Structure 1
Amino acid sequence: MTIPVSAAGVHAVVFDFGGVLFDWSPLHVYRHLIADDAERLHFLTHVCSPEWNVRQDGGRSLVDGTEQLVREHPQHEGLIRAFYDRWKEMLRGPLDDGVALLKELHARQVPLFGLTNWSAETFPYARENYDFLDVFQDIVVSGVEQCIKPEPRIYQIALARYGRHLAGLKPGELVFIDDVKKNVEAAQALGWHGIHHVDAGSTREQLKGLGLPL
C-alpha cells in the first residue's frame, strides 16, 4: 500500500474524539436531574466541573474522584454519583459529519490515529460499541497514559506510539484535529500541524488545504 503524502508533507491525521467524532455532554443527563438552568450551570461549573472530570481523564479512578467530591459536597451526593453511574447516557453517540470525514480519509488510505482525553475506565465502552474506531492504527488515551492534553508529554507519547506504525515519523508529518483550541495550540508548539475543529465542513477544507486527498 502506498501511503499518501500531502503537499504540506503530512503523512497522517490525528483525531480528538469528544466534540469531533462523539457527542458527549453531561447535559444529556443533568437536564433531566436539575430543572433550573442556573442551578444546573452552577453544579456543572463548580461541583461536577470540567476540572474535576479531567482528573479522571488523567488517570484518577472514578471511585476516588467521586468519593472526594461527595466528601466536599455531601449535600449533592446523589447528583454527584449520577455522573459516572449514568455516564453512558452522556455519550449520546457519533457525530455523523465527523465520522464521515474519518471514513473518507480511511478510504483514501490516509493513516489515522487517535488522541483523546478519556478515562481509562470508560473508554472501553466506546471501543466495544463504536466500530468506526477500528480504522485507527493506534489510539492514545489520556487515562491510560496518566497525562492529558494539553500537556506536552502526551503528544510526545503519541508521536512515539504512532512512529511504531510509520517509521521515522516527525511532528511536522502529523495534523491534529481537536475542538479545544488550547489542545491544538499545544500540538502546534511541538511542531505538529493543527486544526481547531468547529465543524466538519471547515475541517475538511483545511485538510484539503494541506493537500490531503479529499
Structure 2
Amino acid sequence: MSAIRHIVFDIGKVLIHYDPNLPYSKIIPDEAERRWFFSNVCTSAWNLEQDRGRSWADAEAELITRFPDREADIRAFRKNWRAMVPYAYQDSVEILTSLVDAGRDVTMLTNFAADTFREAREIFPFLNLPRGVTVSGEIGLIKPDVEIYQCHAADFGLEPSATLFIDDVMENVEGAQASGWQAVQFIGAEQLKSDLASFGVTH
C-alpha cells in the first residue's frame, strides 16, 4: 500500500449537515404526505440530476408538468435550500483544518449543484481552505462513476494509489477504490481520526 500523500474529502454529511426535511417539515407538515412527496416528486434521483449539471429551471419544469398541483412545493426546494444545510460538523472541520495547517495536500470531491455550491462556499468559509474542489454539477460527472475520480486525479495531479478519499456513502467509497484510490467510509469524526492514523496520516 502506498503512503498517503493526498487526502480528498466529500462535503455533504461529512463536513456539512444536509436534510431537506428541515424546511419541508413546515412546508408540508403532515409526515406521511412529506414522505410521499420525497418518494414520488422531489426524489433523491431527481435532485441528483442537478448535481450532474441540470438547471433548476429544467428540473422544476419537468416535475411541474407531471405534478402541476404541487408547483409551489416543487419550487420551494431550491428556494429553501439554505435551510437544508443549517450547520457544519465542527469536529470534522477541525480535522480538515488541521490537515491543511499541517501542510497536507487536501482537496474536495463532491456531488453538488454548481449554484448551490457557490452559496455553500459563502456560508461555510472553510470550504475555501483546501487546494481545490471538483464539483459534479460543474463538470457533468457524478460519484460513484469512475470518470469523476479520474478527472479529479488528473486535474489536481494526484497519484491514485497515494490518495485517501473520505465519503459517507459506501457506493462512492467503492467508486474511489475502483479508480485505484484508497478510501474510507465516514461514520463520524472519531472514527475518521482512527482511520487516518491507520493510514499513517498525522495532523
Sort the TM-score into its range (normalised by shorter chain). over 0.9
Tell whether the 8 Å contact from 1:16 to 1:115 is kept in structure 2 after alignment.
Answer: yes
Q: Give, in angstroms, the shift of residue 75 of structure 1.
A: 1.7
Instruction: Show structure 2 runs of 5+ residues with no match.
Output: none
Q: Give, in angstroms, the shift of residue 159 of structure 1.
A: 0.4
1:1-214 alignment, distance < 5 Å: 8-163=2-157, 169-214=158-203
Tell whether the 8 Å contact from 1:8 to 1:211 is kept in structure 2 after alignment.
Answer: no
Q: Secondary structure at the match of 2:184?
A: strand
Alpha carbon RMSD of aligned pairs, Å? 1.2
Residues in 1 aligned to 2:163 and 2:39: alpha-carbon distance in whole angstroms: 34
Tell me the alpha carbon deviations over residues 18-71 of structure 1, each in whole angstroms, 9 at most, x when there is no partner: 000011111111111122222111111221000000000000001100111111
Question: What corresponds to 1:3 in structure 2?
Answer: none
State the one-letter code of the partner of 2:202. P
Residues in 2 aligned to 1:42 and 1:86: alpha-carbon distance in whole angstroms: 19
Runs of at least 4 residues off by over 4 Å: none
Tell me the alpha carbon deviations over residues 78-118 of structure 1, each in whole angstroms, 9 at most, x when there is no partner: 11010001111111121111111111211221110010000
Alignment: residue pair count: 203
Residues in 2 aligned to 1:8 and 1:146: alpha-carbon distance in whole angstroms: 30
Q: Give, in angstroms, the shift of residue 8 of structure 1.
A: 4.4
State the one-letter code of the partner of 1:57. D
Q: Give, in angstroms, the shift of residue 128 of structure 1.
A: 2.3
Residues in 2 aligned to 1:146 and 1:182: alpha-carbon distance in whole angstroms: 18
Deviates more, 1:140-149 or 1:36-45: 36-45
Deviates more, 1:173-182 or 1:91-100: 91-100
Q: Give, in angstroms, the shift of residue 204 of structure 1.
A: 1.2
What is the TM-score when the length of structure 1 is the normalising length? 0.91
Q: Secondary structure at the match of 1:144?
A: helix
**Percent identity (aligned):** 38
